[in-house]
Amino acid sequence: EAAKPDEFVQGAIVEVSSDEEGFSGAWFEATIVEAKGNDKFLVEYQTLLADDDSNLLREEIDVFHIRPPPPNTNVDGQFNLLDEVDALYNDGWWVGVISKVLADSKYVIYFRSSNEELEFHHSHLRLHQDWIHGKWVMPSKAMKL
């Protein structure tokens, strides 16, 4: 569900998704540069570089691929087996499920989109939340591997 375009003002920090192959399902941090009509915005990514690697990448994105950053869920303790999380990987947040709890605040995350498991430190994880009808919603913990 798209956010209302008036929620996105110049300079606002947002998260942007892409339908490009290899990026589907990931969210990337960006800043609104300017509105481009009713339902498009020029954004500048905070971590992705343009093809020449000299500047941060700028793209026009439609409002359906933009959301505000999720609220901090303050998971200071530890995540649990089967928690649905977002993992910071390759400059974006990718949704996965905790498949193993390791020592030293580390976890193995299973990514259904790529059918792979990778290890992450607690500091590179956040509880997954869905942006639905303009509100953040926590998913059910009953998600199946």
Position 41 pLDDT exceeds 50 = yes
Do 5-67 and 84-137 show the same overall fold? yes
Q: Report the C-alpha gap between 91 and 30 in whole angstroms.
A: 11
Task: Give CATH for domain 84-137.
Answer: 2.30.30
pLDDT of amino acid 144: 44
Residue 4 has pLDDT above 80, yes or no: no
Average pLDDT over residues 99-103: 96
pLDDT of residue 142: 46
**Domain edges within the chain:** 5-67, 84-137
* 5-67: CATH architecture: Roll (2.30)
What is the arithmetic mean of pLDDT over 111-116?
A: 90
Mean of all residue pLDDT scores within the chain: 87
